[in-house]
Structure 1
């Protein structure tokens, strides 16, 4: 399995954008999640974002919150997610990017968490509530374990913060397409086009646009904007 960066480099050479679907681990159960990961991999996913269920998912809308609640009600814990990744990742072409909040990482211990997800086979990490000012606490050890930590740019991010995030983010830059939480939107905010252009002035790293992308037309639109 290639790294996140290697995957984006290959796509760039092919002149393609990346398709990165999202799943919540353990919803409706871990066996179904394992099957879904393999189906997505066979069906054209370039990378796969796997959400670790959490009881207080501040960045997530009602759909993903409900998925996390169902998963937790089934007894899914971080250990189960790691075992799932370890079981499935050797059979996948698409790198797995774990999506989790900061508190579970701190509870486990940063070094232990990164070591464990690396040994399980994850290649990337997204932590939506990680402040930029604390990113270095994860960035340095993540590199040691071969985990690429991707940082998020919000629609409200000022220019100096955008430049700092672009410099530090690994694998790609996660551009949040809308204010608020995850979930379907009927149209893209015009600010996204401006943010992509602004990012392109300071970096040539890949840009992944997320939160609210639910229609093929929306994906095509952000692709045409240069993501």
Structure 2
């Protein structure tokens, strides 16, 4: 399928199933840098790269796969030594696993979603969470169901509410049904190959990989976008 044919296939869909963690929000880089104290090489940029580059944290698996190991590998990949991570591990663990993440690009993402909505009129957030996803994105001003400060979306679908977690493909089938649609009418954009790309494809949903550093080695197996703004521009 050519790039134009792929774009036409995306335009023919009606629902965007959008990941949250790693795409719209990320672990708070300022808090991580502060927790490590002095003498480390970690920056906001190195943390961002560590979160998405396949050769570092591992194909964007993210929290939920092996939480403590994820935290350790994530911060080491960003430039801290193993000793520095161990010394601050409990605080780092709290920041990454149990504290609210922060928006990656609040203004840009909202603007992009409003452009994407022209082609994909039903947008739903689909995320692995412990039940607080809808309140979190509303509080951060990212999105909400109905009018509000952020992007108005059709639904916020939380794995804790459904009782199904990614990478189980059933979460995408259930999400499509809750929106009165079917998987073949949906597109999923997410940062994890395992949890978003592969799981969406297995459910019959067209996957788009959020790959901000053009790092995914599978260049031909699925569509890649570096940002929601680039995805919106491509759809135009």
TM-score range, shorter chain: 0.3 to 0.5
TM-score, structure 1 normalization? 0.33
TM-score, structure 2 normalization? 0.32
Report the structure number with the largest CA radius of gyration. Answer: 2
